[in-house]
Structure 1
């Protein structure tokens, strides 16, 4: 049996995230979802969300070295902005569109960074590995 990797060289905040992803995969898989549900609320927040990614969006991805996924998020934001500008939408929907890219960034940043560090991912897909059949 292979020994698990040592995450001691990572910052303290990333060690439990990486250990969880290494043991269970992303939280979207059945195994990951089951393990995620068993965690205390605060640990769930730290593993499943990233508030810096919510606040800074694609810029956070660029800083962490996941620039391809950051460019994809930026493209999604520009496309949604152009759509909202070109189509007459109710004010509530128009405001809700402003939270789409930050919400995607917040929910995908941790696993995307794990893939970047552990598997040297060069994918442009911010949802890489997030499906039910995640590798």
Structure 2
């Protein structure tokens, strides 16, 4: 149980997003207390899709829905967290849309794609990491 976590190991089958069942799994995870707190908030909000987001305070919503490191480093942050599939998917989408915008002469749109990608990674990082670590999924997007 105290073995170091390897993001490339075979993941178990996906588990339910039941907050009561997720609590025990979250406590057993080899992650920092900060991540455990975020995971508990995501479970309280109903899982990675956050259907009960209104039950959280504004500060709790920001902790769950926004990652500063995800904003600053984008897909590289996802890659460092072992989320190579979303990092690859987002990178390919960013390059394709940015290249298409440049070929059409829309330099402002190409620049906006970069900013939008950073915000997307900041917004999705916590939910993707929750799906990977707590639910045992291997998410693409």
TM-score (norm 1): 0.76
Number of aligned pairs? 118
- The aligned residue for residue 110 of structure 1 is 126
> How far did 1:16 drift?
1.7
Q: Is the 8 A contact 2:39 2:130 kept in 1?
A: yes
Among 12, 33, 44, the alignment partner of 1:12 is 33
After superposition, what is the alpha-carbon deviation per residue over 1:50-84, rounded to whole angstroms, capped at 9, x for unaligned? 01011111111111011001100111111121112
Measured in 2, the distance between the counterparts of 1:70 and 1:101 equals: 11
Q: Does 1:26 align with 2:39?
A: no
Structure 1: 5+ residue runs without aligned partners? 127-135
- Contact 2:26 2:40 (8 Å CA) reproduced: yes
Q: Distance in 2 between matches of 1:116 and 1:107?
A: 16
Matches within 5 A, 1:82-121: 82-89=99-106, 91=108, 93-121=109-137
- Looking at structure 2, the residues matched to 123 and 45 of structure 1 have their Cα atoms a distance apart, in angstroms, of 22
RMSD (Å), alpha carbons:
2.0
Partner of residue 77, structure 1: 94
Shift of 1:44: 2.2
Structure 1 residues 53, 112: CA separation in 2 closer, same or farther (over 3 Å shift)?
same
Query: What are the Cα deviations for residues 83-121 of structure 1, in whole angstroms up to 9, with x where unaligned?
Result: 121112263x34322212111101100010001001221
Q: Distance in 1 between matches of 2:66 and 2:54?
A: 17
